[in-house]
Structure 1
Amino acid sequence: MFFYISKLLWFFTAPSNLLVMLVILGGVLLRTRFARLARWLALGGGIVLFAIGILPVSSLLLPLENRFPPPAADMPPPDGIIVLGGGIDSVVSTARDHAAMTDAGERQLEGAALALRYPNAKLVFTGGPNPFWAGGKSEAHYAVAQWASLGIAPERVIAESASLNTYENAILTHGLVEPKPGERWLLVTSAFHMPRAIGIFRKAGFPVEAYPVDYRTEGSLSHLRPMREVSDGLRRFDLAMREWVGLAGYYFTGKTDALFPGP
């Protein structure tokens, strides 16, 4: 239920969606007695929409991405590698019967690279089907197939194929692999998503080490550089706001024990 409520609320509160709805509302009200308000809604919504898309407000992603530094190149071999879903579009993959990666596909590629670098480490993929696409196969199904094409034997992969969100990723993966005290497990996910993911895994009793990938910002330059495309700026801003809202939501519902988990 938490999954469906969160998706529904985010659709109506995502900044770009909300601003577009304000502009549309302004247009609808123009020929009513609220015409003055309508003009303000349409004009204000349009200006803010453009400003968010062009100005470097997407740098809100920066503190999320910088929260957990990548591990040292000469780190000791891990006992296990966990790759979070999100790097595969299960709807397109099901329709085409071929693993189709999303813009977070670096999770997949880096997971495969780590698996080849550390052949003795356990390899876990956690990601279920799209619940809004009846009959669709899980992300895990296509992750295993894609990794097999890269030289990773399917029998080496521990696939968790029922989870619908990061909370379920953590709970179900913990129960599946039953990590032992002293083991080192790497968690591979997008850098902006790492604080929330680490907090959830910690709360689930699964201590993991951050292995951030899929960076979207350019470091300190993100505070200064305007966006070249409005669509890209809006996408980054929505992404940042979803994570900040998600951090608060997961904290206040008891799914993490810190508002902004850190190293």
Structure 2
Amino acid sequence: MFFILSKIGEFFVEPLHIALSIVALGVALCFTRFAARGRIVAALGVAALLLLCFTSLGDLMLYPLENRFPQIAEDAPAPDGIVVLGGAIDEKLSQARGGAALTEAGERVTAMAELARRYPAAKLLFAGGSGRLFEAAGSEAEIVGRLLPKLGVEPGRLILEDRSRNTWENAVNALALARPAPGERWLLVTSASHMPRSMGIFRRVGFPVVAYPVNYHTGLRLPIGLRSHAPDQLKLIDTATHEWVGLVAYRLTGKTDALFPAP
């Protein structure tokens, strides 16, 4: 039930949908006896759209998420295992076109291949079923299981978890499959913006991991200023909103150990 509600809720909390709804409401009111108020509402909606599309709001929302957990040092001890979270594969497009269609989070998979080469003794676990509410087309794990051997990873090293639909299920199922022994050091690979929520969830289920963030959208400095490419900014805002709302929702439902997990 939590999975279904979260997917439905995503539609209604997306800032672009809210701004467009405000504009639509304002325009509709313009054809009633509340036309004056409708013009004000429509203007507010347009202002919101301009803010979303042409300012650095998305960068500002993502910056604290992506910089919450630092990158590990190059000389860090070798891990006993590596957990990579799903979200890197478009399973529907992969099935339609063949091969492995990577999403913008595809660096999770390429990082897994690179870490596999760097740490040949480490266990490798990919956790990802299908996050689609409708039209599920196989699992990410199945596709990754076919892709990684082509990138030089031995198939026998792979532990594939193909039933999880969200990050909570990623953590629960990964723990059951990995069965980490006391004192073992496991890396958690996921997008930098997704790392705070992921770390909180893994701590909550009792799987101690070390953050290995990838797939950054922001640089080292706090980004401030106007932007010229609206689609990029809308995507950043969508990603950031998904994570901030997810942090609140997961905390309220007891699925993370803190509202904004820290190192």
Question: TM (normalized to structure 2)?
Answer: 0.96
Cα shift at 1:131: 3.8
Name 2:30's counterpart in structure 1.
30
Pairing 1:235–2:235 present? yes
Cα shift at 1:38: 2.0
Question: TM (normalized to structure 1)?
Answer: 0.96
Q: Which runs of 5+ in 2 are unaligned?
A: none
C-alpha distance in structure 1 between counterparts of 2:142 and 2:198, whole Å: 22
Corresponding residue SS for 1:187: strand
Instruction: Give the aligned residue type for 2:244.
Output: W
Tell me the alpha carbon deviations over residues 109-142 of structure 1, each in whole angstroms, 9 at most, x when there is no partner.
1111001111110001000024434461100011
C-alpha distance in structure 2 between counterparts of 1:15 and 1:175, whole Å: 37
Amino-acid identity (%): 50
Tell me the alpha carbon deviations over residues 167-201 of structure 1, each in whole angstroms, 9 at most, x when there is no partner.
00000110111111000000000001100000000
Cα shift at 1:14: 0.8
Tell me the alpha carbon deviations over residues 89-119 of structure 1, each in whole angstroms, 9 at most, x when there is no partner.
1111121122100011111111110011111
Instruction: Give the aligned residue type for 2:228.
Output: R
Cα shift at 1:204: 0.4
Name 1:6's counterpart in structure 2.
6
Corresponding residue SS for 1:219: coil
Distance change >3 Å, CA 221–CA 63, structure 1 → 2: closer
Cα shift at 1:221: 4.3
Pairing 1:220–2:221 present? yes
Tell me if structure 2 keeps the 8 A contact 1:184–1:208: yes
Please give the residue correspondences for 1:28-177 in structure 2 after superposition, counting only pairs within 5 Å.
Answer: 28-58=28-58, 59-134=60-135, 136-177=137-178
Q: Which runs of 5+ in 1 are unaligned?
A: none
Tell me if structure 2 keeps the 8 A contact 1:90–1:130: no
Tell me the alpha carbon deviations over residues 25-81 of structure 1, each in whole angstroms, 9 at most, x when there is no partner.
222332122222222222211111111221121211111111100000011110001
Name 1:208's counterpart in structure 2.
209
C-alpha distance in structure 2 between counterparts of 1:162 and 1:254, whole Å: 22
Instruction: Give the aligned residue type for 1:29.
Output: L
Cα shift at 1:22: 1.5
Tell me if structure 1 keeps the 8 A contact 2:187–2:209: yes
Corresponding residue SS for 1:162: coil
C-alpha distance in structure 2 between counterparts of 1:93 and 1:166, whole Å: 21
Distance change >3 Å, CA 81–CA 217, structure 1 → 2: same
Name 2:247's counterpart in structure 1.
247
Tell me if structure 1 keeps the 8 A contact 2:108–2:214: yes
C-alpha distance in structure 2 between counterparts of 1:74 and 1:22, whole Å: 52
Cα shift at 1:216: 0.4
C-alpha distance in structure 1 between counterparts of 2:40 and 2:155, whole Å: 58
C-alpha distance in structure 1 between counterparts of 2:141 and 2:72, whole Å: 25
Cα shift at 1:206: 0.1
Name 1:194's counterpart in structure 2.
195
Corresponding residue SS for 1:220: coil
Name 2:21's counterpart in structure 1.
21
Corresponding residue SS for 1:152: coil
Instruction: Give the aligned residue type for 1:175.
Output: A
C-alpha distance in structure 2 between counterparts of 1:194 and 1:260, whole Å: 10
Tell me if structure 2 keeps the 8 A contact 1:81–1:124: yes
Structure 1: 4+ residue segments shifted above 6 A: none
Instruction: Give the aligned residue type for 1:149.
Output: K
